[in-house]
């Protein structure tokens, strides 16, 4: 998922304003009763995810509920900014974001409101939702160690800490510090191992890095496969896309040279959603989130991007081929709350 703040609006739309609808009513084109229903039967969704299969799921939701989904897909950070600027005038009822740190940022900016839903409380494990009910996770993604077995023995890596081994000098490829995925990984280590240990891990691991630092996971995977380095950190879905041939046969051949190591325990991140603070249709918004968290919706959302469902390992054959992982069990909310500390520590210890 790209992370720069560049609006990339795929499906621009504008909710018909109340004033506009009233004007139509005044012209006798629609009745005010119909207007009230139109407001109830559509929701605006701002989503940082951009996969075609997501749209199929929204259509399925519309068929089931009669609620139209008006979708705006853009980069996560630009959606947060947009929502903040629009304030009460936002047409968005639901905000979908990738990464716990971004969901936490949305709550710290007071952009989301609590959902009151027994269904969500029942379905979503407590560590995968906000304690105040402002967002819930919908999918899980795992950041793993990827190994080129021609250069590094996969059995030599069992934890993220092992990337600090001096034997890996010049053999580690990393994505840059701006990557929220890496920030959340460091936050997880802060929570599990404390500041002193995380600091020495970072110092030693960054001294093993062969530059350049990468700006996304895919070129890092290619560099690994070409032997530029022997180990790297990536989200499994990027490798899965390449293994699935989504970027063509050359990338598939490269991806096949690599081996996944799930560190024990593995860092698990999420994509998730919440109802916006100024939603015009909070009930409709909740229905969509409940749908996406249901077995059907959750499976569809996960499989759209080769991610894991909230429970279990899913049915994606490519992910299954990578094996199983033992999740660190940390709360996604805590990951977000340690984001700032993580970034500071990365900065102070050589993560460019």
Gap between the Cα atoms of 250 and 221, Å rounded: 13
CA atoms lying within 13 Å on the CB side of residue 167: 8
SS (H, E, C) 1-37: CCCCCCCCCCCCCCCCCHHHHHHHHHCCCCCHHHHHH
Closest CA to 237 of 330, 344, 144: 144
Size of the site for Fe ion (CB under 5 A): 1
Residue 218 CB, nearest approach to Fe ion (Å)? 10
Interaction of residue 1 with Fe ion, rule CB under 5 A:
yes
Nearer to Fe ion, 30 or 218 (CB): 218
Residue 302 interacts with Fe ion (CB under 5 A): yes or no: no
* DSSP secondary structure string for all residues of 44-113: EEEES---HHHHHHHHHHHHHH--EEEEEE--HHHHHHHHHHHGGG---SEEEEESHHHHHHHHHTT-EE
Closest residue to Fe ion, judged by C-beta, is 1
Output the furthest CA–CA distance in the chain (Å, rounded). 78
| Rounded Cα–Cα distance for residues 122 and 335 (Å) | 22
Taking the complex as a whole, the smallest distance from the CB of residue 270 to Fe ion amounts, in Å, to: 12
Residue 235 Cβ vs Fe ion, minimum distance, rounded to whole Å: 6
List beta partners, residue 44: 70
Considering the complex, state which of residue 15 and residue 49 has its C-beta at the smaller distance from Fe ion.
Answer: 49
Beta carbon nearer to Fe ion, 117 or 236: 236
Asked if 324 contacts 169 with a C-beta cutoff of 8 angstroms, the reply is no
Of 10 and 116, nearer to Fe ion (C-beta) is 10
In the complex, the smallest distance separating the C-beta of residue 2 from Fe ion, rounded to whole angstroms, is: 8
Residue 73 or 93 with smaller CB distance to Fe ion = 73
Instruction: Compute the least distance from the CB of residue 199 to Fe ion, in Å.
Output: 27
Stretch 61-80: interaction string toward Fe ion, x if CB under 5 A: --------------------
Q: Which stretch binds Fe ion (CB under 5 A): 1-9, 72-80, 86-94, 144-152?
A: 1-9
Binding of Fe ion at residue 342 (CB under 5 A)? no
The C-alpha atoms of residue 200 and residue 96 are separated, in whole angstroms, by 35
Residue with token string 């698990």: 268
The nearest distance, CB 305 to Fe ion, in angstroms, is: 8
Give the span between the Cα atoms of 306 and 22, in whole angstroms: 44
3-state secondary structure of 233: strand
CB nearer to Fe ion: pick between 1 and 174 = 1
Smallest distance from Fe ion to CB 158, Å: 25
Nearer to Fe ion, 61 or 301 (CB): 301
Between 1 and 96, name the residue whose CB sits nearer to Fe ion: 1
For the bound state, the minimum distance from the C-beta of residue 77 to Fe ion, rounded and expressed in Å, comes to 13
Query: Could you tell me where the beta strands, DSSP code E, fall in 184-339?
Result: 231-235, 259-261, 267-276
Helix, strand, or coil here: 40? helix
- What residues make contact with Fe ion under the rule CB under 5 A? 1
């Amino acid at each position: 998922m790209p992370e720069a703040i560049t609006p990339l609006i795929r499906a621009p739309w504008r909710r018909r304003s109340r004033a506009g609808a009233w004007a139509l009513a005044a012209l006798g084109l629609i009745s005010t009763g119909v207007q009230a229903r139109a407001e109830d039967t559509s929701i605006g969704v701002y989503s940082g995810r951009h996969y075609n299969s997501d749209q199929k799921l929204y259509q399925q939701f519309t068929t089931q509920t009669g609620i139209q989904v008006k979708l705006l897909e853009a980069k996560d950070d630009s959606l947060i900014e947009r929502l903040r600027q629009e304030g009460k005038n936002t047409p968005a009822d639901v905000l979908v974001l990738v990464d716990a740190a971004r969901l936490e940022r949305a709550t710290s900016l007071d952009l989301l409101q609590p959902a009151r839903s027994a269904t969500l409380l029942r379905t979503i494990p407590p560590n995968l939702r906000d304690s105040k009910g402002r967002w819930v996770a919908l999918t899980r993604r795992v950041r793993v160690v990827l190994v080129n077995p021609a250069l590094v023995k996969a059995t030599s890596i069992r934890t993220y800490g092992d990337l600090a081994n001096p034997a890996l000098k010049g053999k580690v490829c990393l994505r840059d510090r701006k990557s929220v995925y890496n920030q959340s990984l460091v936050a997880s280590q802060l929570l599990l191992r404390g500041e002193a240990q995380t600091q020495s891990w970072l110092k030693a691991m960054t001294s093993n890095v062969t530059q350049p630092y990468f700006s996304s996971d895919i070129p890092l995977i290619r560099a690994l496969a070409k032997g530029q380095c022997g180990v790297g950190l990536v989200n499994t879905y990027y490798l899965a896309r390449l293994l699935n041939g989504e970027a063509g046969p050359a990338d598939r051949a490269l991806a096949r040279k690599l081996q996944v190591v799930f560190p024990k325990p593995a860092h698990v991140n999420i994509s998730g959603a919440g109802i916006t603070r100024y939603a015009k249709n909070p009930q409709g918004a909740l229905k969509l989130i409940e749908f996406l968290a249901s077995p059907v919706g959750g499976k569809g959302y996960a499989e759209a991007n080769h991610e894991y469902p909230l429970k279990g390992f899913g049915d994606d054959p490519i992910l299954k081929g990578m094996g199983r992982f033992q999740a660190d069990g940390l709360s996604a909310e805590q990951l977000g709350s340690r984001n700032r500390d993580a970034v500071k520590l990365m900065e102070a210890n050589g993560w460019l």
